[in-house]
Amino acid sequence: MSSKIMDKFLKAAIYVRVSTHWQIDKDSLPVQREELINYCKYALNINSYEIFEDAGYSAKNTERPAYQRMISRLRAGEFSHIVVWKIDRISRNLSDFSHMYEETKRLGITFVSKNEQFDTSTAMGEAMLKIILVFAELERKVTSERVSSIMLSRANNGQWNGGRIAFGYDYDKETKTISINEKEAAVVRMIYEEYEREHSLIAVAKNLNEKGIRGAEE
């Protein structure tokens, strides 16, 4: 630990995050909070801390409200440590994490990951930290590719991938498939015909309004 940290009052910024509603509803956040508080008290001898919590946010980038508040206050010199459950709580993006880590080093702030137990004061510790993050980013990209493949397969099989049902279609919850709504489909065809004739979306909208044709929610 640097002399700069030793000379000032010790206070930890505890950062916790989960990315899904399932994790929010279960014990992930409470477990992270409790164990990190205890780790600060009994392993780091830090009794002053503040918790920053992002529930339901992905680690693909750092655009998270609690994370951004924490970074602003770190820059203001309010904390001596950042304490996390695992490094992927901060980010699975190597560039984002490296930027954050280099900044905290310049500020004299110690980064602590409870589960990975990195000693980032050594060159080997820093190297191991970055190697782990490379694999975390790889895992995120592989998962993203897998999800995209599944969604494409579902679409090819006529299954719906979620979201708002497009005008002109119906959704069957039992079969999880979509089908053409003939009444609405007639309107869709008329819209295309109107646009080919008018070459103006405003003109098409005006003609539809004059005919009393409204969207599904109206």
pLDDT at 168 over 80: yes
Q: Which of 121, 141, 161 is the last residue of a domain?
A: 141
Residue 161, domain member (yes or no): no
Q: Does 17 lie in the same domain as 60?
A: yes
Give residue 23's pLDDT: 53
Give residue 40's pLDDT: 93
Residue 148, domain member (yes or no): no
Q: Does 182 lie in the same domain as 75?
A: no
Give residue 97's pLDDT: 78
Q: Does 135 lie in the same domain as 179?
A: no
Q: Does 198 lie in the same domain as 103?
A: no
Residue 159, domain member (yes or no): no
**pTM for this one?**
0.55
Give the residue with greater pLDDT, 6 vs 87. 87
pLDDT digits (tens, 9 = 90+) for 26-45: 558 888 899 999 999 998 89
Residue 25, domain member (yes or no): yes
Mean per-residue pLDDT for 118-129? 69
Q: Does 39 lie in the same domain as 107?
A: yes
Mean per-residue pLDDT for 62-70? 92
pLDDT digits (tens, 9 = 90+) for 130-166: 787 677 677 767 877 888 888 888 778 777 777 778 8
Q: Does 174 lie in the same domain as 127?
A: no
Residue positions counted in the chain: 218
pLDDT at 75 over 50: yes
pLDDT band at 47 (very low <50, low <70, confident <90, very high): very high
- Give me the helices (H) in the chain, please: 3-6, 21-25, 28-42, 65-75, 94-107, 123-156, 182-198, 201-210
Choose among 13, 19, 39, 26: nearest CA to 136.
19
Give the separation between CA 201 and CA 190, rounded to whole angstroms. Answer: 13
Q: Which residue is listed with tokens 């015909």?
A: 193
Q: Does 26 lie in the same domain as 133?
A: yes
DSSP 8-state code for residue 194: H
Q: Which residue is listed with tokens 């409470």?
A: 30
Q: Which two tokens stand for residue 88?
A: 């992927």
Residue 152, domain member (yes or no): no
pLDDT band at 198 (very low <50, low <70, confident <90, very high): confident
Q: Does 131 lie in the same domain as 57?
A: yes
Name the residue range of residue 199's domain: 169-210
Residue 51, domain member (yes or no): yes
Say which CATH number the domain at 73 has: 3.40.50.1390
Q: Does 9 lie in the same domain as 112?
A: yes
The neighbouring-strand residues paired with 49 are 12
pLDDT band at 5 (very low <50, low <70, confident <90, very high): very low
pLDDT band at 84 (very low <50, low <70, confident <90, very high): very high
Q: Does 194 lie in the same domain as 130?
A: no
Give residue 37's pLDDT: 95
pLDDT at 217 over 80: no
pLDDT band at 7 (very low <50, low <70, confident <90, very high): very low
The upper half-sphere exposure of residue 96, i.e. CA atoms within 13 Å in the direction of its Cβ, equals 18
Q: Does 191 lie in the same domain as 129?
A: no
Q: Does 127 lie in the same domain as 76?
A: yes
Residue 135, domain member (yes or no): yes
Residue 176, domain member (yes or no): yes
Number of domains in the chain: 2
